[in-house]
Structure 1
Amino acid sequence: MKKITLVLSMVLFTIAGAFAQIEKPVTWSYVAKKVNKTEAVLYLKASIDSKWHIYSQNVKSGGPVKTTFAFSPSKDFSLVGKTTEPKAIVKYEDTFKMNVSYFENQVIFQQKIKLNKGTTIVKGRVEFMTCNDRQCLPPEEVEFSIPVK
């Protein structure tokens, strides 16, 4: 009986250790602020763990997966222009053999919208890739839902 308990405990600790290895160095938060009755700005914030970074929306092909936003179509609002971002860090990365633009610590992307209704919920998803100086994680997609009141 003690052997079974010991083996079972070892298996559980091994499984728990495997799950502890999953890295999530980026967390997203969202908020909308109305500019007036018919316009609002969406703020999409990535908080990035120390020593990690995510890539700009403006990475050239042949490099890492760039950050992209996809907004679900709605009759309640329309997008005004493209999603904007602050000035990125630009650095040559041996992994990709090219200059790449990226963000560390945190970055806030902005998207203007025109409201066709007083309140709405803007839904969509963001795809991004996270790297540090040792590794890159597979690209990740995160869905979002942003209330505009």
Structure 2
Amino acid sequence: MKKINLLIAFVLFAISGAFAQVLKPVEWSVATKKINAKEAVVFIKAKVDEGWHIYGLSVPEGGPIATEFNITADNGAKLNGKVAAKAPKSKYEETFKMNVPYYNGEVIFQQKVNLANGKPTKVKGTATFMVCDKERCLPPDEYEFAVTIK
């Protein structure tokens, strides 16, 4: 009898797992463009599913988690300035009692890189972000990337 109960529990658990949905409303990608021998740009694209949004790079204190980048480059290359993007939209969110900047649809973040020599340069980074829709917010998530500028 115990084996039958165990088998039934296992089957129910397996079936419920098959119906569980993992929400991943943001798809990330990364690319580079070499401007000249001493300068390049890293493009980090976020494609946000319809009905969802991620927050801007600068969010007022007490608001949601801003989109943030931690980027490094090797071979003596240096980051030139901060990550930039088009101006975000803004809306009042009752939850935070403030206007918050956000992106929906597709947004491309850019990081300029000053190259140090003619060798390939590896740029690595992490994007930390929070994604929400009208009803819920998912826990903060990270996207790790690495790209080589040749």
Structures share fold, TM-score greater than 0.5: yes
- Alpha carbons of structure 1 residues 4 and 140: separation in structure 2 relative to 1, 3 Å: closer
Deviation at 1:95? 1.1
Q: Which runs of 5+ in 2 are unaligned?
A: none
* 1:71 aligned partner, one-letter code: I
Name the counterpart of 2:149.
148
Q: Which residue of 1 aligns with 2:21?
A: 21
| 1:43 counterpart residue number | 43
| Match in the other structure for 1:57 | 57
Q: Which residue of 1 aligns with 2:78?
A: 78
Which one-letter code corresponds to 1:87 in the other structure? A
Q: Is the 8 A contact 2:130 2:140 kept in 1?
A: yes
TM-score (norm 2): 0.90
Structure 1 pair 57–10 and aligned structure 2 pair: CA distance change class (3 A): same
Amino acid at match of 2:95: T
Report the AA paired with residue 89 of structure 1.
K
Q: Partners of 1:135 and 1:120 in 2: how far apart? A: 40
Alpha-carbon distance in 2 for matches of 1:97, 1:4? 50
CA shift, 1:8, in A, is 3.7
State the alpha-carbon separation in 2 of the partners of residues 90 and 70 from structure 1.
24
Structure 1, unaligned runs of 5 or more: none
- AA aligned to 2:17 is I
Name the structure 2 match of 1:121: 122
In structure 1, C-alpha distance between the alignment counterparts of 2:115 and 2:109, rounded to whole Å: 19
1:131 maps to: 132
Structure 1 vs Structure 2 CA RMSD? 1.7
Residue in structure 2 matched with residue 66 of structure 1 by the alignment: 66
Does the CA contact (< 8 Å) of 2:65 and 2:129 recur in 1? yes
The answer to whether the Cα contact below 8 Å between 2:55 and 2:101 also exists between their aligned partners in 1 is: yes
Query: 2:107: which partner in 1?
Result: 107
- Aligned-pair identity in percent equals 43
Is the 8 Å Cα contact of residues 74 and 121 (structure 2) preserved in structure 1? no
Find the aligned partners of 1:38 and 1:64 in 2 and give their Cα distance: 37
The CA distance in 2 between the partners of 1:14 and 1:87, in whole Å, is 42
The amino acid across from 1:26 in the alignment is V
CA contact (8 A) 2:72 2:79 kept: no
Partner AA of 2:133 in structure 1: N
Please identify runs of 4+ aligned residues in structure 1 that moved more than 2 A. 1-11, 72-76
Match of 1:11, SS state, is helix
How many residues are paired up? Answer: 147
